[in-house]
């Protein structure tokens, strides 16, 4: 059986984003970029919620991503991606609309 490895960027007090879903508080410095690139090299598929997938899909093809995080960008592009199109119900209902994007 495979392993599931998760990493998230949050503050020490659990802050992730604003009410308007802004995540600009978090800067992706050298250490975070190296960790992200190494983690992506060790994985074979990425799993996202719909909103996070849409955010990532809109950022990584950009010139800003190429200029600021080229190694992470290339690894992200290489990975297969799974994402949830709609929310799912737990524990009574099945996962709905899980899509694979290569």
What is the model's pTM?
0.65
Rounded to whole angstroms, the Cα distance separating 70 from 36 reads 11
Question: Any alpha helices (H) in the chain, and if so which ranges?
Answer: 30-41, 50-59, 63-68, 70-78
* Residue 4 in this model has a pLDDT that exceeds 80: no
Tens of pLDDT, residues 50-86:
788 888 888 889 999 899 889 889 888 888 888 877 6
**C-beta separation of 68 from 82 below 8 A:** no
Long-range contacts at 72-75 (CB < 8 A, ≥ 24 apart): 72/28, 72/33, 72/36, 72/37, 72/40, 75/36, 75/37, 75/40, 75/41
Percent of the chain with pLDDT over 70: 80
Tens of pLDDT, residues 18-30:
788 777 777 777 8
């Amino acid at each position: 059986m495979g392993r599931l490895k998760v990493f998230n960027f949050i503050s020490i007090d659990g802050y992730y984003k604003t009410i308007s879903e802004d995540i600009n508080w978090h800067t992706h410095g050298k250490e975070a970029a190296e960790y992200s690139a190494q983690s992506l090299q060790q994985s074979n598929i990425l799993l996202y919620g719909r909103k996070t997938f849409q955010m990532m899909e809109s950022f990584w093809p950009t010139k800003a991503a190429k200029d600021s995080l080229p190694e992470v960008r290339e690894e992200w592009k290489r990975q297969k991606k799974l994402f949830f199109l709609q929310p799912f119900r737990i524990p009574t209902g099945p996962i709905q609309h899980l899509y694979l994007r290569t």
